[in-house]
Amino acid sequence: MIKYWLNKIKTYRFQLSFAVFGVIFDQITKIWAVQRFTNEQGIPTREIIPLIGPNGNWVRFQLVYNEGAAFSSRPQDILPFLPPVLFFLLLSIVAMSVLVWFFRSIDKRDWLSRLGVTMIMSGAIGNFIDRMRLQKVVDFIDCDFPDFIMTRFPTFNVADSFVTVGVALVFLSPVLLKSIHKQMNLEKVLKHDQN
């Protein structure tokens, strides 16, 4: 059974389907969060739903809008002459182009890196949809890691989770698929020596 699912995960079809699932799941959870935490006048209620930890303080849901980029950084501070919507549109086009190029350059045997890149693209598309539709990103997952560097971790969403896990998979692939990477590197050396 495990081998069956492992073979499925390695396929391009599964990876593309998983990316589409990620975008849909992200959008559904954001729609739920906005409806759940907004009153009849369209104003956020500032309500908190505690989930895990003492008094539900480690993981909780609350609605937060991110009008900036990652970790609420503002594009107006980087390029003040460019409207934020145009900034995010151009940034997304460049980022997606780089990700597609990177995906195509990954050896087909390195299925973990390919899955990671499709997860990053899925998350990027999910947040891009918010920026084009609302001019801000809906965040609602609020975590606290006791005795960590910051008071609370920045509030995030499903798309952000896909990006984070995707990046981790790309970096962990050479460790987890060590024999495949060793073989690919050996083939590169042999090809280089032949030229």
- Which of 178, 45, 177 has the alpha carbon at shortest distance from 111? 177
DSSP-based three-state secondary structure for 61: strand
| pLDDT of 188 strictly over 90 | no
- Of 79 and 120, the structure prediction assigns the larger pLDDT to 120
| pLDDT of 149 strictly over 70 | no
Strands across the sheet with 59-66, in order? 49-52, 59-66, 137-143
Total domain count, the chain: 1
Distance CA 140, CA 24 (A): 16
> CB–CB of 128/93 below 8 Å?
no
Distance CA 128, CA 135 (A): 9
In order of 98, 143, 149, the CA distances from 153 in angstroms are 28, 6, 9
Min mean pLDDT across 62-71, 72-81, 143-152, 163-172 is at: 72-81
Min mean pLDDT across 72-76, 167-171, 179-183 is at: 72-76
Sign of CA dihedral 157, 163, 166, 171: negative
pLDDT in tens, 52-96: 888 888 899 999 998 866 555 566 666 677 777 777 788 889 999
Q: List active site positions.
A: 139, 160
Q: What is the residue range of 138's domain?
A: 2-194
Distance CA 50, CA 58 (A): 8
State pTM to two decimals.
Answer: 0.83
Query: According to the model, what pLDDT value does residue 17 have?
Result: 94
Min mean pLDDT across 7-16, 74-83, 88-97, 147-156 is at: 74-83
Distance CA 177, CA 24 (A): 29
DSSP-based three-state secondary structure for 140: strand
